[in-house]
Structure formats: structure tokens, C-alpha cells
A = this chain, B = another copy of it.
Amino acid sequence: MDDASHQHPVHPLPPGRVTLQQIAETLGVSTATVSLALRASPLVAEATREKVQAVARELGYVYNRSAASLRTARTNMIAVGVNDVVNPYFGEILAAIEETLAGSGHTVLLGTYSDDPAKQDRVLETLKEYRPDGMILCPANGAGGDALLRIARAGIPVIQITREIEGIGLDVVASDDVAATRLALDHLFGLGHRRIAVVGGNDTMSTGRNRRLAYRAFLAEKGLAFDPALMVTGLGTRDTGFAGIQALLDLAAPPTAAVCMNDLIAFGVMMGLRQRGREAGRDFSVVGADDVREAAMWAPGLTTVSTHPSEQGRRAGERVLVRTVNPALPPARIILPPTLVVRGSTGPVVP
């Protein structure tokens, strides 16, 4: 009787894939042994382990993580959701996360949503179906907490990064927005600036809200009047900075300095200044935020408040792994202290 012709009554899937089973049959051992041997378990004899691994290599065996995941309910994937990977800030965060996770055998599943809450919800829903062991997310501008909470309730650890939906009780890794704002404003104040604009941000995300509140608190503290015309709302793009500085310079009483929500905005401001025949650091002072690599490369170099993006990524990676092991941990807010980096784009006020 020809066994081979009978053992697979239907075979709709592409044949030829090597499985544990086949290794087991080739060697006349059980699949359990092969499974253990491939994972170098001490339960299996040295000699068998070597034989199994040799045959596996010979047959071109490739471990099937889908199958293992179904059994173990772990995927070794961590989903990362950010707005935009071209933005160097998110690029640095993503790179740091990827590097941290790779070190402990985890792989990044990536989703992006361009600061669009509806798209964010769709993307996160999909990522969830892959059953990642955890997720690291930067909430889209204006997004509510529902999507994140649904994920957490499905048993997947969620780490918020950079921005936070307040009060939903999920881990956060971010930079201290209030401290960052104060660092920038203190620096400019010390240089003699009194009319200081804030460019970018809005009140629909935590960073914008916190920093704008800190700005108003600072003004109040120094006895300076708040002028709404000095607060330019906008997303964190070069365009926001470029357009923003034009409007500010057209004011009857223009500012002498600007604090920007991020470095990209600051680059836009510096370009806009140059177009108006002015030079950052000489005629006008500009402070950025984040300290992306590019900030040091500009001429003049950009004075900025570093929010340590790589460090944020690393910490978020570490945190998600911790939560993977111990899901019951109480929520943590890991708020990194920002640092002022003084370069050439700021200088004493000119009358």
C-alpha cells in the first residue's frame, strides 16, 4: 500500500514547505523533541539537538511563528504607531525603539496615520488583529482615548509616547512640556527679550496644551502682557514656521524672538527670516524643540530644547517589554527632563 498517496486527501495549500513534522519523520523522533531541540532546550540530549539542527538546516526548515503564536499566545511583535516616519523626530524615536526591541528578540510592526484620528483608529484596529505583545503609540492630534483603551482592554499593553491622552491610566513616556517651555523662555528672557512669540501647537494635543499654558504662566510671572497675536497655531511642519514668522513680522509691534513647538517649525522660521533679509541669532532669536540631528547642522545652528527623542524611544521600548512580562503593573508616567542646547540662533535683543 502506497502511504504517500493517501496521507493528504486534500492539499489546497502550496506544498513543499518544511515543517517540524518532516524533520521528526526524517529522524524517527517525535515533533516534541524536534521542537525542544530547535530551541536548544536542556531537556533534550546534546547529540539529538545537533542531529535535529543539522537536518533542519539541510531541509531548509523555516520556523513558523504564526503557528507558534497561535499556540503560545505571544507573537514577539511590538506594534508602533506614529504619525509620520519622514519627520526626523519620529524617525529617531522609531529607530531607537526598533534597536531596543531587536536586542530582546522582538520585531516592529509599523503603522502611520498622519495625525488623522480617523485613520489612527483604522490603523490601530488592524495592528491589534496581529496580536502584538504590546504597542507603542503617539496619539494623533485630536484623538480621544477610546481606541487606546480598547486595545488595552483587549489585553495588549499600551505605551503612549511623546504625547498623552490624559486620565486614561495608560503608561506614558514623554518629555516635560512645562519645563521645556520654561527653559526656552528663561533663556530668551535672560537675553533681554520681552516680546516673545510661540509658534505652532494647538490645544487638541497634550504637548501643545501644556506648553501654551506654561507660556502664559511665564508671562504672568514676569508681569508681561499676553498678546494673542503672538501665539501662532499650527501643526509641527516647516510650513507652519515659514508662514508664522511672516505674519509675526507684519505685526505693528512684532516680537523679537520666537519659541517653536518643534525644530521643523523653527527651521521654517529661519527660512522665513532669511527671505525677509533677516538672520536668526542676529536680528531675531529662534528656539526650537526636540533637537533632531539636523538642528546642529543649520547655519546658524539652532538653539533648541532637547526632548531626547532617542531616549524616549529606548525607554518606551524597555517599558513595553516590562509590561509584557508583568501586565498588572500600575500605570507609569515616565517624564524625561528636557535640556537647553544653546547654538547660534539666539542672541541678545536688538532695539
How far apart are A98's CB and chain B's nearest CB, in angstroms? 6
Given A77-B109, A299-B274: A65 and B131 interface contact (C-beta under 8 Å): yes
- Is the C-beta of A99 less than 8 angstroms from some C-beta in chain B? yes
A95 in contact with B102 (CB, 8 Å):
no
- Chosen A-B contacts, 20 in total, with CB atoms closer than 8 Å, are A13-B73, A14-B155, A64-B70, A65-B129, A65-B131, A66-B66, A66-B69, A66-B130, A77-B109, A85-B98, A86-B91, A86-B92, A86-B95, A91-B91, A95-B112, A98-B110, A107-B110, A107-B111, A107-B126, A107-B127
A65-B131, A85-B98 given; 7 more Cβ-contact pairs under 8 Å = A14-B73, A60-B153, A64-B131, A67-B70, A88-B91, A274-B299, A299-B299
Residues of B within 8 A of A129 (CB): 62-65
- The reply to whether the CB of A75 lies closer than 8 angstroms to some CB of chain B is yes
**Distance of A84 Cα from B238 Cα, bound (Å):** 23
Q: Is A123 an interface residue (CB 8 A)?
A: yes
Contacting B at CB under 8 A, from A109-124, are 109-112, 123
Q: Is A276 an interface residue (CB 8 A)?
A: no
Cα separation A95 to B84 with both chains bound (whole Å)? 7
Q: How far is A45 from B127 in the complex, measured between Cα atoms in Å? A: 29
Residues in B whose Cβ lies below 8 Å from that of A84: 95
* Residue-wise interface mask of A (88-111) relative to B, using a CB-CB cutoff of 8 A (1 in contact, 0 not): 100110110011001001011111
Q: Do A267 and B109 form a contact, CB below 8 Å, given A14-B155, A73-B14?
A: no
Interface residue A203 (Cβ < 8 Å from any Cβ of B): no
User: How many residues on the A side are at the interface (Cβ–Cβ under 8 A)?
Assistant: 54
Does A325 have its Cβ within 8 Å of any Cβ on chain B?
no
**Is the CB of A343 closer than 8 A to any CB of chain B?**
no
Report whether A154 and B62 are in contact in the complex, using a CB–CB cutoff of 8 Å: yes
* A 45-67 contacts with B by CB, 8 A: 60, 62-67
Which residues 263-298 in A have Cβ within 8 Å of B in the complex?
267, 271, 274, 293-294, 297
Per the bound structure, the CA–CA distance linking A62 and B73 in Å amounts to 13
